Amino acid sequence: MRNIGGLNLVGVFALSVIGSIVPGGGVAFAQAVTNPNLEDGSSTISGAGYRVNPGDQLEISVWREDGLQREVMVLPDGTISFPLVGVIRAAGKTTAIIEQEITAGLANYFVDATVPDVTVTVVSTSGLQFSVIGKVQSPGIFTPGRNVTLLEALSFSGGVTEFASLSNVVVVRKSGESLTVIPVNLSKVLRSRSVSVEEVSALPMIRSGDTIIVP
């Protein structure tokens, strides 16, 4: 088994967080199974990219255009304003999509519609808020201030209780007026004696408005 200094980032994350999620930290992990096709430290636990929420702070810059550098907050209605472009609906979109929309809005103001690189960065995810209910130590509503994974979200609630049904965890996600129920089986990840990158990477990233139910 490789020493911890050489473990893949996801494997290290899983080992460090799971002890705080499983009651008493009583699960002994013999190994972390890493993905040999990824360089050490290069993997991330990813889902779809982070989607902007009302209340988030964004930094927007256009290369070599000092007059088009802005730090803006996403308003409660989900919009932002940017010079020459006007109002943009940002909530629910990734930064890459917002960059594309700003680029398209600036096209008429540059020769041959060649817009310098537009960069949108999430400075603060203060708009991200989720709930955890059911058999956890401290149910509640949490505002982490950053993007979090399902495992991290459970750690915010103090971890699951002894009799939690880990194979039947669900994430209830709001999409406009509709709800989507995402079933998640955490039993293998939290009860197994080994954790693989693939199993942890398959877990959903948490979006604003999500409710995690641990039966």
Length reported for the chain: 215
Taking Cα atoms as reference points, which of 120, 15, 134, 32 lies closest to residue 68? 120
pLDDT tens-digit map of 149-194 = 899 999 999 999 999 999 999 999 987 778 999 999 998 888 777 7
Q: Is the pLDDT of residue 73 over 80?
A: yes
- Residue 86: what pLDDT? 95
Q: In terms of pLDDT, which residue wins out, 27 or 49? A: 49
Contact present, 94 and 48 (Cβ < 8 Å):
yes
Q: Is the pLDDT of residue 212 over 70?
A: yes
Instruction: State the number of CA atoms in the 13 A half-sphere of 170 facing the CB.
Output: 11
Contact present, 169 and 184 (Cβ < 8 Å):
yes
- Strand order, beta sheet including 118-124: 70-73, 57-62, 118-124
Q: Are strands 140-142 and 169-175 parallel, antiparallel or unpaired?
A: unpaired
- Residue 58: what pLDDT? 94
Tokens of 76: 């409660």
- Residue 51: what pLDDT? 85
Averaged confidence pLDDT in the chain: 79
Tokens of 45: 């636990």
pLDDT tens-digit map of 7-29 = 333 444 444 444 556 555 443 33
DSSP 60-128: EEETT-GGG-EEEEPPTTSEEEETTTEEEE-TT--HHHHHHHHHHHHGGGSGGG-PPPEEEEEEEBTT-
Of the chain, the percentage scoring pLDDT greater than 70 comes to: 78
- Residue 125: what pLDDT? 79
Q: Is the pLDDT of residue 215 over 50?
A: yes
Taking Cα atoms as reference points, which of 165, 171, 181 lies closest to residue 215? 165
- Residue 201: what pLDDT? 82
